[in-house]
């Protein structure tokens, strides 16, 4: 039984830790606050930027999965020390460093995004995410660590309650038959990452030496617009069609005064104002994980929210 260390216990971290436990791994989860243990999973309260303690917690691990992230509005200052601690820990322990990344580093592009695109982010969050991977990749090429990055688009699925464009902003309102407000153009194509698929991809590449040293896109279903996804959720929830309203710049401007998250989203508005499509064909040509069919994604997400909210079927 191998030891896996999972950083963070948000939707992706929790899904990854539980998948590893289901597959017979001994799992150690590192978070700031810790949690009560659950079958196969030990929770440790630890500041991941405390490198000495993180090394101690990771000794004997075959892989370290980073699903942690600083607060969204503190990425520019928070990511460098976290990334440095992770790479130092991977070097000290010999564990494979499996990094959960996103698509911010590419910046605005024309056409589908592939892993061959150069980093061209125009804002600080995109630039820092690109720099984090470049640092790990350089150390990998120097033979100091073994590292791989898996890049996902916007999360949704069971367990996703905040941050995601299709999370708390959409399904709970649908289940109550209320209109939905969206960021950007609701009719532009967009790639969506289903959290169970993210976890399965992270676990797969950890055990595939030929995957290491580069980035891969999470297997993803063909892009659908926000409106198309909302229509699917509405059909599954059987609450009937709901109105889809685009948030106006004026409303976003007022909201940004009170919400750090809304303020920070200005940098990535392009992702919802123009096509934002991830090409995962390279991953699918090399490995076995495939995207869950969108109908199953929608069904499981609505079912999870119904149970969470206690709404009738």
Q: Report the CATH number that the domain containing residue 149 is assigned in CATH.
A: 3.40.50.720
High-pLDDT (> 70) share of the chain, %: 92
Which residue range forms the structural domain that includes residue 68? 3-157+191-217
Q: Are residues 110 and 205 in the same domain?
A: yes
Task: Flag whether 284 is in a domain.
Answer: no
Q: Are residues 40 and 27 in the same domain?
A: yes
Q: Are residues 61 and 207 in the same domain?
A: yes
Q: For 76-103, how does the pLDDT look when each residue is reduced to its tens digit (9 = 90+)?
A: 999 999 999 999 999 999 999 999 999 9
Task: Flag whether 230 is in a domain.
Answer: yes
Task: Flag whether 287 is in a domain.
Answer: no
CA-to-CA distance for 153 and 201, rounded, in angstroms? 13
Q: Are residues 149 and 241 in the same domain?
A: no
Q: Are residues 153 and 231 in the same domain?
A: no
pLDDT at 313 over 60: no
pLDDT at 106 over 60: yes
pLDDT at 248: 67
Q: For 250-302, how does the pLDDT look when each residue is reduced to its tens digit (9 = 90+)?
A: 666 665 556 666 666 778 888 989 999 999 999 999 999 999 999 999 999 99
Q: Starting from the edge strand earliest in sequence, which strands make up the sheet with 3-7, in order?
A: 41-45, 26-31, 3-7, 61-66, 96-102, 146-152, 215-217
CA-to-CA distance for 284 and 148, rounded, in angstroms? 16
Q: Are residues 63 and 104 in the same domain?
A: yes
pTM for this model (two decimals): 0.94
């Amino acid at each position: 039984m191998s030891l896996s260390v999972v950083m963070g216990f948000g939707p992706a971290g929790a899904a990854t830790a539980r998948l590893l436990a289901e597959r017979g791994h001994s799992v150690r989860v590192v978070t700031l606050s810790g949690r009560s243990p659950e079958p196969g999973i030990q929770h440790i309260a630890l500041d991941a930027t405390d490198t000495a303690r993180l090394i101690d917690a990771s000794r004997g691990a075959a892989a370290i999965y980073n699903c942690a992230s600083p607060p969204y509005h503190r990425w520019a200052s928070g990511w460098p020390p976290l990334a440095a601690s992770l790479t130092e820990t991977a070097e000290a322990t010999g564990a494979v460093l499996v990094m959960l990344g996103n698509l911010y580093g590419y910046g605005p592009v024309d056409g589908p995004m592939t892993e061959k695109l150069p980093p061209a982010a125009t804002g600080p969050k995109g630039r820092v995410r690109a720099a984090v991977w470049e640092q790990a990749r350089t150390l990998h090429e120097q033979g100091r660590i073994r590292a791989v990055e898996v890049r996902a688009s916007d999360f949704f699925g069971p367990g996703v309650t905040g941050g995601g464009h299709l999370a708390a902003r959409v399904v709970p309102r649908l289940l109550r038959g209320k209109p939905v407000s969206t960021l950007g153009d609701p009719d532009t194509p967009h790639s969506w990452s289903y959290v169970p698929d993210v976890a399965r991809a992270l676990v797969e590449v950890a055990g595939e030496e030929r995957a290491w040293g580069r980035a891969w896109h999470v297997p993803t279903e063909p892009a659908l617009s926000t409106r198309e996804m909302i229509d699917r959720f509405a059909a599954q929830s059987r609450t009937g069609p709901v109105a889809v309203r685009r948030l106006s710049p004026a409303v976003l401007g007022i909201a940004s005064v009170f919400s750090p998250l809304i303020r920070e989203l200005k940098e990535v508005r392009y992702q919802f104002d123009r096509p934002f499509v991830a090409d995962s064909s390279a991953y699918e040509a090399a490995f076995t994980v495939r995207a869950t069919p969108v109908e199953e994604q929608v069904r499981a997400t609505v079912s999870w929210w119904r149970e969470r909210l206690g709404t009738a079927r």
